[in-house]
Chain A
């Protein structure tokens, strides 16, 4: 793994950047206009509330019939592939083109919402997109995804059992896992020692523990993530809270966030990991990939570390899916099959530094990634990770709690 490759690791959760650029004038007119015209909208943190079971609020018919009958590897035209920025080794695209003879038109986005707006408005037609867990649930409920034809994706069998039956895609009809990661806390080893070697959300939420931190503390500027962190600290299961529509628990988390606000140096979903490594903050709530990028990039292995708190954290899965209005459905299936191949899957992960859902890839993945507990947490920690479920109308309460905290 060379430096360039590492430097590209973990860009995915660099969302937020587009937001700064969207400025949009004082009224947000620009965003409405842009979105209404199907233009770029932007940047929202990826981990919004998410899916899981068909909660009472399920609505809108799941549409889109089954995919065309494509044979494995069959292609039917040039592929338009819309993916997160810096999320693939482009050699893989070239290899696919060489193998199949179709051209890949590759473009990128920085947030699930940006992709959703494009697909929803049909501003552009894509054959293959990479929505995160909750976004799969949202898109599936809105009828924006095509049912996959798994006969055309024999390599889907390589996907590990824990990713093969995701709650956000109950019958596993619309998505195939691409890469995965977690949300936890990056900190200096100095702080980790002060905590007795065990990472805990208390370093953010408990006044006495937080007082031990010599420098600043930052949290993601992302409502579902901050509320999820608070719920975890309070001992709740995020999935239970959402599925039981437990508004009281969410309000309790909101109160905790409000009490925490003054203790924070800032909310930041963009430079949190760089600021950790360069000492601007000593504790940062953030995404595994961002920390991998910064820690590898600055060779800060000895000073800083990404941890998953003992109370547990959030896990997210990005998946490959085909929009309902895709033109080249067989090519899209061929690409999914290509990327779920054992060696290709490893090439993908060796470039992104994310977790691989592909079991068959393991022998081909470099040890540096396999042995990193931040990327591949040990089972006892992995067991405490939860997917953010699709929150439906509760998403608004969650947003409100985050807004209310910032006063």
Chain B
């Protein structure tokens, strides 16, 4: 600030400073339980994983913390693993795209309802989260099985029984179902806070409905779309339960492959190296999201009102485990 600041602090300035220190201390105190928790249960394991990824697997499957090497990282280039990563990326992309296609109109609908209806609809969107994810996946398994209601309905209509269960279609349906909410919520937030007068202005200037949507609504909700895509893509890339339960474990994805390294193969170094790879990929995705989020912000409303969806981005990792 001005030169006045540089002069010896007056009594008033000292008091201000002390208050600032106290505030900072208080803040640290408030944050410390969370920080400690993250340190013990996130940073330390992360460090362990990184260390293990450079270790050696003995022929009995024990992880020897010696003979440090990058063999596990080199193994990531193997055809099998590259294929698995490619498949996982494809499925995650497909899931994300479908979630946008299904979720956007849905969020648009909710956001354009009267306030009290919105609240009810939002609760309805959240309700599935009150049930364990595993239970929901098993419910879908029943729905899609050859003895399930979908098949029974088709039979009663004269189309014969069918089974979607254990096909890629079943996996896709299950993935979209599992992650749709992660897409709908940020989209809803973006749409809800959008300044609709801008769309009206576009219409007043003779833009067609579709044109107003493409030129105004869509760009203004871009941050919501990006946030939703990250929230869906990241967990579906590492998805582990859905493909195994609904796909009959016939398509191996990276999440299951990593789990196998820790269990069946007892190849912790490889499992750890792949985990590190995923974490790094995830961080990159989050960083990109944040960057784009700060660029295209806020649908015309004054700043400071952002309840940014971008902030929740670190959470998807745990989404599936809940």
- Do A and B truly interact? yes
Is A302 positioned at the interface, with any CB of B under 8 Å from its CB? no
Q: Which of A1-51 contact B (CB under 8 A)?
A: 19-33, 35-36, 41-45, 48
Chain A residues lying within 8 Å of B60, measured Cβ to Cβ, are: 59-60, 138, 141-142, 392
Q: Which of B16-24, B41-49, B302-310 contacts A (4 or more CB under 8 A)?
A: B41-49
Give a binary string over B241-261; 1 marks a CB under 8 Å from any A CB, 0 the rest.
100110111111001011111
Chain B residues lying within 8 Å of A396, measured Cβ to Cβ, are: 57, 265, 267
Is B94 positioned at the interface, with any CB of A under 8 Å from its CB? no
Cross-chain contact A280 with B262 (CB below 8 angstroms): no
Cross-chain contact A57 with B59 (CB below 8 angstroms): yes
Contact of B239 among A21, A26, A403 (CB under 8 A): A26
Is B204 positioned at the interface, with any CB of A under 8 Å from its CB? no
Cross-chain contact B240 with A24 (CB below 8 angstroms): yes
Q: Known contacts A59-B60, A395-B265: does B48 contact A36 (CB below 8 Å)?
A: yes
Which residue from chain A places its CB closest to the CB of B240 in the assembled complex?
A: A23
Cross-chain contact B240 with A32 (CB below 8 angstroms): no
Is A341 positioned at the interface, with any CB of B under 8 Å from its CB? no
A407 CA / B79 CA spacing, docked (Å): 12
Closest CB in chain A relative to B175 CB, distance in Å: 13
Contact of A265 among B248, B258, B265 (CB under 8 A): B248
A407 CA / B255 CA spacing, docked (Å): 14
Is B149 positioned at the interface, with any CB of A under 8 Å from its CB? no
Q: Which of B49-98 contact A (CB under 8 A)?
A: 49, 52, 57-62, 80, 83-84, 87
Is A318 positioned at the interface, with any CB of B under 8 Å from its CB? no
A260 CA / B238 CA spacing, docked (Å): 26
A298 CA / B145 CA spacing, docked (Å): 20
A218 CA / B234 CA spacing, docked (Å): 31
A300 CA / B280 CA spacing, docked (Å): 52
Q: Which of B108-116, B119-127, B216-224, B268-276 contacts A (4 or more CB under 8 A)?
A: B268-276
Cross-chain contact A26 with B240 (CB below 8 angstroms): yes
Cross-chain contact B263 with A32 (CB below 8 angstroms): no
- Determine the main DSSP class of B at the interface with A: helix
Is B285 positioned at the interface, with any CB of A under 8 Å from its CB? no
Is B29 positioned at the interface, with any CB of A under 8 Å from its CB? no
Contact of B271 among A28, A261, A395 (CB under 8 A): A28
* Contacts across chains A and B counted by CB atoms under 8 Å: 151
Cross-chain contact A23 with B166 (CB below 8 angstroms): no
A393 CA / B52 CA spacing, docked (Å): 18
Cross-chain contact A407 with B265 (CB below 8 angstroms): no
Is B146 positioned at the interface, with any CB of A under 8 Å from its CB? yes
Contact of A267 among B249, B259, B262, B320 (CB under 8 A): B249
Cross-chain contact B321 with A32 (CB below 8 angstroms): no
Which residue from chain B places its CB closest to the CB of A58 in the assembled complex?
A: B59
Is A69 positioned at the interface, with any CB of B under 8 Å from its CB? no
A393 CA / B62 CA spacing, docked (Å): 11
Chain A residues lying within 8 Å of B267, measured Cβ to Cβ, are: 396, 399
Cross-chain contact A142 with B62 (CB below 8 angstroms): yes
Is B228 positioned at the interface, with any CB of A under 8 Å from its CB? no
Is A268 positioned at the interface, with any CB of B under 8 Å from its CB? yes
Closest CB in chain A relative to B76 CB, distance in Å: 13
Cross-chain contact A280 with B145 (CB below 8 angstroms): yes
Which residue from chain B places its CB closest to the CB of A275 in the assembled complex?
A: B145
Cross-chain contact B166 with A266 (CB below 8 angstroms): yes
Closest CB in chain A relative to B191 CB, distance in Å: 28
**By the criterion of a CB under 8 Å from any partner CB, how many residues of chain B are at the interface?**
60
Chain A residues lying within 8 Å of B150, measured Cβ to Cβ, are: none
Q: Which of B119-172 contact A (CB under 8 A)?
A: 134, 145-147, 166
Contact of B264 among A57, A60, A113, A142 (CB under 8 A): A113
Cross-chain contact A223 with B264 (CB below 8 angstroms): yes
Q: Which of B238, B262, B275, B278 has the most CB atoms of chain A within a 10 A radius of its CB?
A: B262
Q: Known contacts A26-B255, A26-B278, A403-B80: does B49 contact A32 (CB below 8 Å)?
A: yes
Q: Which of B276-322 contact A (CB under 8 A)?
A: 278-279, 316-318, 320-321
Is B266 positioned at the interface, with any CB of A under 8 Å from its CB? yes
Closest CB in chain A relative to B89 CB, distance in Å: 13
Q: Known contacts A267-B248, A404-B80: does B240 contact A31 (CB below 8 Å)?
A: no
A215 CA / B271 CA spacing, docked (Å): 36
Chain B residues lying within 8 Å of A141, measured Cβ to Cβ, are: 60
Cross-chain contact B241 with A407 (CB below 8 angstroms): no
Chain A residues lying within 8 Å of B271, measured Cβ to Cβ, are: 28, 31-32
Q: Known contacts A26-B320, A27-B258: does B61 contact A44 (CB below 8 Å)?
A: no
Closest CB in chain A relative to B63 CB, distance in Å: 9
A198 CA / B249 CA spacing, docked (Å): 29
Chain B residues lying within 8 Å of A407, measured Cβ to Cβ, are: 83, 87, 251-252
Q: Which of B134, B258, B272 has the most CB atoms of chain A within a 10 A radius of its CB?
A: B258
Q: Known contacts A21-B134, A26-B237, A26-B317: does B250 contact A44 (CB below 8 Å)?
A: no
Closest CB in chain A relative to B322 CB, distance in Å: 9
Cross-chain contact A32 with B275 (CB below 8 angstroms): yes
Is B235 positioned at the interface, with any CB of A under 8 Å from its CB? yes
Cross-chain contact A400 with B80 (CB below 8 angstroms): yes
A392 CA / B265 CA spacing, docked (Å): 11
Is A133 positioned at the interface, with any CB of B under 8 Å from its CB? no
A267 CA / B264 CA spacing, docked (Å): 15
Q: Known contacts A24-B321, A138-B60, A392-B59: does B249 contact A266 (CB below 8 Å)?
A: yes
Q: Known contacts A43-B263, A44-B263, A222-B264: does B250 contact A406 (CB below 8 Å)?
A: yes
A27 CA / B254 CA spacing, docked (Å): 9
Q: Known contacts A142-B62, A268-B248, A406-B250: does B263 contact A42 (CB below 8 Å)?
A: yes
Which residue from chain A places its CB closest to the CB of B41 in the assembled complex?
A: A33
Closest CB in chain B relative to A3 CB, distance in Å: 25
- 9 other A-B residue contacts (CB within 8 Å) besides A26-B237, A266-B250: A21-B134, A24-B321, A26-B239, A26-B320, A28-B261, A29-B317, A59-B58, A113-B264, A392-B60
A and B contact pairs by CB, cutoff 8 A, 28 listed: A19-B263, A24-B321, A25-B318, A25-B321, A26-B320, A27-B255, A30-B321, A31-B262, A32-B45, A32-B48, A32-B52, A32-B272, A32-B275, A41-B263, A42-B263, A44-B263, A45-B264, A58-B59, A60-B62, A138-B60, A264-B250, A266-B249, A280-B146, A396-B57, A399-B260, A399-B264, A403-B252, A403-B257
